[in-house]
Structure 1
Amino acid sequence: MTVQTVRARMSPLVMVAMILAVSMSFIDQTIVAIASPDLQRDLSLTRAEGEWVINAYLVALAATFALGGRIADAWGRRTMVTVGVAGFAVSSALCGATPDTSWAETWLISARVAQGIFAAVLMPAAIAIVYGSTPAERRGRSMAMFFGLTGAFTALGPILGNYLLEWSWRTIFWINLPVAAAALVTIAVAPIEQDRGNRRIDWLGAVIVAAGMALSVVGFSQAADWGWSSAMTWGCLVAGAALLTLFVVVERRRPVPLVRLDIFRLRGFRVDSAVLFFVMIAFVPVSYFLSVYANVSLGMDAAGASHLLLLFFLGFLIAAQAGGHIFDARGAKQTMLLGCVVGIAGFAWWATQVTTLDAADQHHPLLLAGAGIGFLLGPASADAVSRARDASYGEVTGINQTVRNYGSALGFALLGTLATHVFTNRFSASLREAGLGRDAAEELARDVAAGGSGGSGASSAPARVREAVERAVAEDFAEGIRAVLIAMAVALAVAFVIALRHPGDRPAREDATAPPQPTTVDQN
C-alpha cells in the first residue's frame, strides 16, 4: 500500500479534525456581528468601539498569520493546531467574562486580539494539513469541501446567535468551549504527521509587518472620528505605509525571511493573491454591515438579521461546491471570473434594493451576492497554494491568508468610514430639512453616528422633529449601506480585471513531501 493511498484513506478523519479546529474562528465571523447591536448597548460602546470589537480580531489575524505559518513549519503543524485551539478557547472565555465597567472596551478588545493571534497560529497549520494530506488530483474538491464546510460553520453563526442571544451576548463566546473540546479530542486521534522542521523564525519581520498592518488599519478606521485633516489619521497611515515598505526591504535581506517575496514573481500566485485581497473586502465585512442595517433601518431583532445573513451564506455554500468542480475540471481562472461577475451583479442589485427598507426585497440579491463569493473563494485559495512549488505549505498558506485577512481588516476600516461619512452627511441634511439649524443638525448627526445602535441619539432631538428624525435615521443609514455595497461591487470589479491576467493553467503539487524545486522568474 502506498503512502498516497494511506493518505487518501486517512483524509476524512483529518478533514473532520481540521474543520472542527478552525470552525470557531469561522463561526466568530458572523456570530459576533449578529450580537454587535446587543453587545454595544449592554456595554455602552460607541459605533467605533463596536466596530473595533470585530476589527481587532481581523487585524490581529492578518498581522500574525504569516508568522503562524512559519511557526507551524518550525514547531510542527499538529502541535500548533492544538496550541491554537486551546488558546482560542481561553481567549473566548475571557471575551465572555468581560466586566460591565468603564474598562469593558479595553478588556474585550484585548481578548479579541488574543483570539486573532491564536486563530493565526492554528489556521495556517490546519489548512496546510488538509492540503498536504490529499492526493493532487482531489485537492480542488478537498479544498472546496474544506472551505464549503467551514463556510457552513460561518452560516451557523446567525442560527446560533439568534438562539444564544435569548440568554446573553456573552454566550456567543462561551459556545466556543465545547467546540474546542471536541476539536482537541479529534486532533488527538487523527493520523496527522507532525512534520516538524529546524527552521528559523524571522521575529523582527513579524514585529514590523504586524505594526505596519495595525497602524494602516487604525488610520483608515479612525478617520471618521479623527477627520481626514487630523495629524493622527495621516500619522498612522504614513507610519503604516513606511513600516510595510521597511518590511519589504528587510525581508529581501534576511537569510530566512518571514515571507519569501520571490513567490510573488509567479504570475499565477500574484494574481490569485490580488484577487483574494479585493474579494475579502466584499466578503467578511458583509456580516457586520448587514446585521446593523437590519437593526437600524429595518427594525429587526437578531432573529431577522440572522435570516438575512443565512440567505447570503446559502448562496455561498451552493456555489462553493460548484466552484470546486469547475476548478478541478478547468482551473481557477474561469471560476474566478464567473464568481466576480456573479458577485458584482449581486452586490449591485442589492445596492438598488437596500433603500426600499423592505426585507423581502433583499432576499434574491443576497443569494446572488453570496454565490459570487462562493464560486471563487476556495478555488483561488487552492490555486495560490499549489503554485508555490519551492515553499512549504505552512509558509504559503500563511502568505495567502495574510493577504486575505489584511484585505478583510482594511476593507472593514474603509467601509466603516465610508458608511459613517455618507450617513452623517445625509442625516445632517435631513435634520436641516426638518427645521434644525446647521450647527444643531451637524452636532446631532455626529452624536447619532457615534452612537452605534442607530437611533440612540435621536432621543436628544427636539420633540417637534423627533418623529422625522427617527424616520431619517433608518432612511439615511440605508443610504450609507448602499454606498458600502457599491464599494463592494467595485472591489469585485477590480478583482475581475486582475483575474483576466491569470495564466489559466492548472498547476498541481504532486506530493506534500516532495523536495523543493527552484523558483524561476515569471513562471505561471
Structure 2
Amino acid sequence: MVFAVVMIFVDQTVVSIAAPSIIEELGLSSSGMQRVVNAYLLALAACFALGGRLADVFGHRRMVVVGTLVFVVSSVLCGSVPTGDFAESWLVIFRATQGLGAALVFPAALAVVVSVVPVDKRGRALALFFVLAGALTALGPLLGGWLTAWTWRAIFWINVPVAVVALVLTALARIPDARRRERLDVPGAVLVATGMGLSVLGIQQSSVWGWTSPATWACIIGGLVVLVVFCRYELRTDEPLIKLRIFRDRAFAADTLVLFFSMLAFVPVLYFASVYAQISLSSSPHQAALYVLYFFVGFGLSAQWGGRILDKHGARPTMMLGTALACAGFALWAAQLTDLSAHDQWPYACLAGAGMGLVLSPASTDAVNRAIDASYGEVTGVTQSVRNYAGALGMAVFGTVLTHVTTSRVAQTLSAKGLPEAEVQGAARSIAEAVTGHPDDRSPTGGGPTSTLLRSAFEAVHMDFAEANQWVFYGMSVSLGVAYLCTLLHPGTRVTGEVAQTGAEETAQERSRR
C-alpha cells in the first residue's frame, strides 16, 4: 500500500520542483502552471468521497488496482504533452485524470491498513505508513531536481516502474476484497464534485478575471450553493455518499476543521517554497529540492512521535502542540525570506514541518477511528476530500495573493528604474506571470531601451518576489493559528478498541432490525 500511494505524494512535490522548467518549455504563465497543479488537487478533492465509497462497495483491493492503472496511464500522457497552444489544456486534462486515479487509490489503500491494525495501535501504524510514504516522497524533490536537469517529462514517466511494483506487491499480498452490498450514490457524487469544482475555480481564476468580475463570484457562490444542496440531499437519501451524521461527533468535527486549516498551508508550501528558491534564491531545480527537503525532514522526524502521543493520550495534545509549532515556524520562516539565504531559513522550515508532522497523521487517524459501522473507505474519503479541497483552495488563495503583491512590488521597482508609466503595469504583470529568470522574453514591450531597463531591474525583482512570498507564508501561519483554535473544540476523548467494537455491533444490530 505504501508503494501504491507514494506516487500520489511524489506528484504533489515533484511537479512543483519542475514548474519553472515546464513554464519555460511550454510557454505557460504562472497562472497557467497553477491551473495545472490545481487540476490534480481539485480532482483529488472532488473525487475522494466517491473513491472512498467505491472502495467500500466494490472492494478495497480492486479500487487500488483500478486507481493505479488510471494514475499511471495519465502519468505517461502528462509526460507526452505536445508543445504548442494545446499544451496547457493537455496537461490540465491529464493532471485531472491523475487526480481521479489518486482519489481511487488512496482511500482504498488506507482502508486496507486501517482494517488490519487494532484501534489502540493505529496511531503508530498510520504514522509509520505516512512516514514511509513521506520518506519516499522526500526523495521526490531530489529525484525531480535530477530528472528535470535531463527533461522535466521524466518526472511523470518515473511513475511507471513504481506502479508496476505496486501492482505486483498488491497481487502477492492477497488482500481480502470484502464488499458492502449498498447502492452507489451517483447524484451525490455529481453534486459534491460540481460544488467543489466551481468554488475553487472561481477563487483560482480571480487572479485573471479580477475580484470584481461577476464570473468570479458566480463560480464561488454557485459552488457553495451546490454544496449546500449536496448536504440537504445526503441527509434525505437512504444510502448517501457521505453519512453526514458523523459530523455530530464533536471530536470528528474538530479533527476535520484542524485538517482543513492545516492543509491550506501544507500543499501550497511545497509549490511556493520551490518557486521562491528558484526565483529569489536563483537556485537550480536540484538546489530547490534540497530547500524543500528541510520541511520534510522536520515532518518525518515528528510524525512518529505524534502517533505515539495519539495512542497514549489521544489526538488533542499532539494537535495542539503541532499547530502551535507550525504557526510559529511559518511566521519565523516568513520573516527570513527577504534575507535571500537558505542557510538562515532551514531551522524555521524544519520547525514548520515538525509542527505539520504532529498534526496531519494524528488528526486523520483519530477521524478514521470514529468511522460509522467501520466504513473506513467512506470516512477516509471524507477526510481526504477535506484535505485536498483545502489544498486546492490554499493554492488558489495564496496564488492570487502572490500574483497581486508581486505585480505591485515589481511595478514600484520598474517605476524607480525609469520605465515609462504607460508601460509599468503591463511589464509588471508580465514579470509576475512569468516567474522565470527571463522576464524580458515575456514582456509585451519588446526590445530596445525598455528591455534593457527590465534586465537592469531584475536583481531588484528577486527581492520583490521574496517580499510577495512573505505575505503568503504569513498567511500560512495565520491558517495554522486558526487550526490551533479548532483543536480547542476537541473534547479530548479517545477511541478504544472496546468502544469501536461496541459501536460497530450496535450499528450492525440496527441495520439488522431495519
TM-score, reference length from structure 1: 0.93
- Does residue 21 of structure 1 match 2:4? yes
1:448 and 1:458 in contact (8 A); partners too: no
CA distance 1:430–1:412, shift in 2 (3 Å): same
Moved more, 359-368 or 270-279: 359-368
Corresponding residue for residue 446 of structure 2? none
Q: What's the offset of the Cα at 1:252? A: 1.3
Aligned mates of 1:281, 1:95 — CA distance in 2: 26
- Does residue 505 of structure 1 match 2:493? yes
Instruction: Give structure 2 stretches of 5+ with no counterpart.
Output: 444-448
Taking only aligned residues, the RMSD between alpha carbons, in angstroms, comes to 1.8
2:414 and 2:454 in contact (8 A); partners too: no
- Does residue 111 of structure 1 match 2:99? no
Aligned mates of 1:280, 1:516 — CA distance in 2: 34
- Does residue 158 of structure 1 match 2:158? no
Q: What's the offset of the Cα at 1:128? A: 0.7
1:136 and 1:511 in contact (8 A); partners too: no
SS at match of 2:150: coil
- The number of residues matched between the two structures is 503
Corresponding residue for residue 173 of structure 1? 156
- Does residue 101 of structure 1 match 2:90? no
Corresponding residue for residue 507 of structure 2? 517
Counterpart amino acid of residue 485 in structure 1: F
Aligned mates of 2:20, 2:271 — CA distance in 1: 10
2:279 and 2:437 in contact (8 A); partners too: yes
Aligned mates of 1:30, 1:44 — CA distance in 2: 21
Corresponding residue for residue 3 of structure 1? none
Aligned mates of 1:180, 1:511 — CA distance in 2: 35
SS at match of 2:353: helix
Corresponding residue for residue 475 of structure 1? 463
1:349-368 per-residue CA deviation (whole Å, 9 max, x = no partner) reads 00110011112122111111
Q: What's the offset of the Cα at 1:159? A: 1.3
Corresponding residue for residue 343 of structure 2? 360
Corresponding residue for residue 495 of structure 1? 483
CA distance 1:467–1:450, shift in 2 (3 Å): closer
Corresponding residue for residue 201 of structure 2? 218
Q: Could you tell me which of 104, 123, 134 is aligned with 1:140?
A: 123
1:343 and 1:371 in contact (8 A); partners too: yes
CA distance 1:512–1:357, shift in 2 (3 Å): farther
Instruction: Give structure 1 stretches of 5+ with no counterpart.
Output: 1-17
Corresponding residue for residue 278 of structure 1? 261
- Does residue 413 of structure 1 match 2:409? no
Q: Could you tell me which of 217, 220, 239 is aligned with 1:237?
A: 220
Q: Could you tell me which of 244, 255, 258 is aligned with 2:238?
A: 255
Corresponding residue for residue 485 of structure 1? 473
Q: What's the offset of the Cα at 1:102? A: 1.8
Corresponding residue for residue 4 of structure 1? none
1:139-182 per-residue CA deviation (whole Å, 9 max, x = no partner) reads 11101101111111221111111221122111000000000000
1:358-380 per-residue CA deviation (whole Å, 9 max, x = no partner) reads 12122111111111101111111
Q: What's the offset of the Cα at 1:453? A: 2.1
1:132 and 1:511 in contact (8 A); partners too: no
1:276 and 1:404 in contact (8 A); partners too: yes
Q: What's the offset of the Cα at 1:77? A: 0.5
Aligned mates of 2:478, 2:308 — CA distance in 1: 27
Could you list the structure 1 runs, at least 4 aligned residues long, displaced by more than 4 angstroms after superposition: 458-461, 509-514
1:176-325 alignment, distance < 5 Å: 176-325=159-308
1:315 and 1:370 in contact (8 A); partners too: yes
- Does residue 347 of structure 1 match 2:330? yes
Q: What's the offset of the Cα at 1:60? A: 0.2
Aligned mates of 1:148, 1:114 — CA distance in 2: 26
Aligned mates of 1:144, 1:516 — CA distance in 2: 29
Q: What's the offset of the Cα at 1:459? A: 7.3
Q: What's the offset of the Cα at 1:468? A: 4.3
2:80 and 2:153 in contact (8 A); partners too: yes
Moved more, 189-198 or 61-70: 189-198
